Amino acid sequence: MRLRPLAVLAATAVVFAAACAGKDDTGSPGPGGDGTTAAPATAGDAGPGASPTTAGDAGPAGKPPRLRATRLASFDQALALAVRAGDDALYVVEKGGRIRALRAGKVDPAPVLDVSGVVSDAYEQGLLGAAFSPDGTLLYVNYTDRAGDTRVVEYPFEGGRAVAASARVVLAVGQPFANHNGGNLVFGPDGFLYVGLGDGGSGGDPGGNAQDLATLLGKLLRIDPRPSGNRPYTVPADNPFAGRAGARGEIWAYGLRNPWRFSFDAGTGALWIGDVGQGEREEISMAAAGSKGGENYGWNRYEGSRPYAGGSAAGLVPPVHDYARDDGNCAVTGGYVYRGERLAALRGRYVFADFCKGEVLALVAGDGGTEATPLGPRIESLASFGEDAARELYALSLTSGLYRLDPG
């Protein structure tokens, strides 16, 4: 497969980080964007409120294990990973608009899906997320089109390929600026599709979207993606704002700036969200299993644990962990609570990173809160994590491809 020169990819990664980290509509750094110019960490496979405890099984006591990152394959701006029921392939999303399958250690040269002709991949835009239906018969993707707007599209999946001719638009959302598109898609334990949308971009949420229940921007949505009557999807009747005047029924949670990556703990059902900050704080939030939705994570009244624009935030849920934009940090990359078998001492810990620093970290319970412990690997432009059917963890780099996290 032909790859772009490394220098071009590195430049793309820096622009992507800057867009994540807080910008105005011209693409210049937003207020306090001191972390956006930090040099990315060197890629490699180096070895050697509520708290996670209340979320359910924070993992074994003691020090987390040291890991190494084993590089499996190169991809052109790898951005997300999807797996399919009954299928051993790893499906890697490339920002430019293609999904490629890694089967038996080899990359299939023919894309599973190619929407590069309709995707804009400037700044944070592009093919940003993908998820298979629980039965594996449908593929859903989230991308920004050439107009810069969000599209969630459904494809039948047959013979190892998406049936492009049968594409169906499930959700269309206008984006006022080129950044903060969100883009993640996850099927929850309840079988519904969760869709992450940023606040619409620029800097500081100038439209007040994240706190406005009348818009889908700055929200986590929960839908049944199958049609309902003449509507392309169904709003679950038990969504927290379903049927409420002046509110969008699709909304599950709000007060989010750019929920770039979120996941469900396969052991407890708790929801973990990595929400990219404006210029001071990066945030990880959590909703315990059994939540009825409706959480307000605070943006733009708060940035992480600190006041931002002032004013109240009804039902504010503080982060379980937030950290400063210093020491090379610029944008949180949300990950997973580990529930695999190969890394037993890691089980129950939340694994995440920062896009610019690239250091793989784990959240562990600490006195009075949480602390992030380095696990060893540092991966350049670490844009996303993924897990396979056995719940083993992978990391994806915009510049160097797909890695598996192995015992150090």
pTM of the model: 0.89
Is the per-residue pLDDT at 23 higher than 90?
A: no
Burial of 161 (0-12, 13-18, 19+ CB in 10 A): middle
Place 367 in a pLDDT band, splitting at 50, 70 and 90: low
Tokens 């997320």 identify what position?
129
Q: 157, 150, 187: which is closest to 172 by C-alpha?
A: 150
Is the per-residue pLDDT at 53 higher than 60?
A: no
Top-confidence residue, 35 or 343: 343
Q: What are phi and psi of 299, to 5 degrees?
A: -65, 140
**Window from 38-52, 142-156, 165-179, 274-288 with minimum mean pLDDT:** 38-52
Give me the pLDDT at residue 370, please.
86
Burial of 134 (0-12, 13-18, 19+ CB in 10 A): middle
Is the per-residue pLDDT at 239 higher than 70?
A: yes
Note the pLDDT tens digit of each residue in 84-94.
Answer: 999 999 999 99
Query: Do residues 15 and 36 make contact, with C-beta atoms less than 8 angstroms apart?
Result: no
Share of the chain above pLDDT 70, in %: 84
Q: Is 344 helix (H, G, I), strand (E, B) or coil?
A: helix
Is the per-residue pLDDT at 236 higher than 90?
A: yes
- Mean pLDDT of all residues in the chain? 88
Domains in the chain: ranges and CATH: 6-407 (2.120.10.30)
Note the pLDDT tens digit of each residue in 214-232.
Answer: 999 999 999 999 999 999 9
Top-confidence residue, 27 or 181: 181
